[in-house]
A and B are shown apart, each in its own frame.
Chain A
Amino acid sequence: MSVSPATPAPPATAPAPDDGGLLRAIAVTKAFGGLVAVEDVSFQIPARSIVSIIGPNGAGKTTFFNMLTGLYAPTAGRIAFDGRDITGRRPDRITALGIARTFQNIRLFASMSALENVQVGQHARMKAGLFGSILRPPWVRREERETRDKAREMLDYVGLDSSVHEQLAVNLSYGDQRRVEIARALASDPKLLLLDEPTAGMNPNESARLTAFMRQLRDERDVTILLIEHDMKVVMDVSERVTVLDHGTKIAEGEPATVRNDPRVVEAYLGKRESESADETGETTAEGG
């Protein structure tokens, strides 16, 4: 059985790039003062996979994301990405190494156009500095042109036609804002894309399309995807592996079908009353599969 409560931490050697894990978190802990938000979580994502983290509200999922992207430095533990130790590195460095993300409550640069938002996403891949920006030599002009073209391409790729490219992010519809955010993240050429509740606020139709899009991304662009998701249908549908966090610790991990039936998971989600609600969840996921 692949489901095991909090598998013992792997041997404490430098994470090798060739063991199939694009990202490895080893015994990661984050405490805010006395409050432990994430405790001793070990975790790995194989390259070119789609993996979900689920768990009830306040389980520490977003905190975990924030550690992966460098917004928080872990209190203890290590994180390795693509064969490099990225524990406690700055967020911009981590983005440059190839991790990009979206946010639970969309964080676009509201007063910038969709296009400019995606151009900011390419910051780490550009070189123009202070004097380059002022003097604008030919290579900077070329770089600007290329970024603009690439931003348009990204917006097209996520399904936004050119009529919205110049619109200010704040004026876009909710669904389009989500797309721009994904385009902005993709613009940094990530190897790993972290999506924080990407289907929040979407109807089943939109969710299904996004699910298909995630697969397409993985297949066409070799992007590994890690998502936090509440919509069980999406989780069961798209993920190859699921990790369940509760109260900051990992309580289960494995294939969606197995995790779904894990009693600890059911309990974490539903408290003591297991019977009816559990069946409901089961039904939804069954439909999805």
Chain B
Amino acid sequence: MNRVWSRIKNWLIAMGSPPHFYRWATSSLPWLAGLAVIVFCAGLIWGLGFSPTDYKQGDVYRIIYIHVPSAILAESIYIFMAISGFISMVWRAKIAGMLINSAAPLGAGFTLIALLTGSIWGKTTWGTWWVWDARLTSTLIMFFLYAAIIGLHSSIENKTKGDRAVSILAVLGVVIVPIIKKSVDWWQTLHQPSTFTLTSSPSMSPDMYLPLLVCVLGFYCLFIFMLTNGLRAEIISRERDKSWVKKQFFKY
């Protein structure tokens, strides 16, 4: 047990060094890409093509196979960023700082997809593009938080400094996101009872639920693939003056 633990620790420490991570990413990227394509396509084809039609909503409900995974990712990417922010604040690991920088645009993108698909779904089932429902509102706020992080990072010229500034925001965010969610819930119940709830439908049948699960997994794989790919580019652009990059690309 102890040996396994120390091997994991050594592996993590090794991963913190940019050249090592770069080599790992280069060799595992095809596998990640293949896995992402297979799971993502399988989930989408199963969900969009073969799962049964909903008796009440018809085929419109199939947007759930895009909407729910991206909403789940929007939140988990934020938590992921906060963890990397904490690591970069405490241990000053270079990779952790770069991770926030590459994950933030992805998180903002998934949040935007969740908002857009949700609003299209809402138009067809509720008859309106937008309601000030607690969940919609907190997702919108989530998008603003991502925008704040991206804006702050892009305004700071020194990238390493920007990483640390952003990690402060990410750590503050993970404390405040639950508070935002809770307070938005209260705000909603205070002002008016929620007209529509997303959770009131009866529990889904397995042949609708399983494809959704595969879709969520597929979105996660896609995220990991895109993150690794983005991180590779980030490493090269930041370390372009280092000798290992020159050796790798120019053979001198």
Do A and B belong to a common assembly?
no
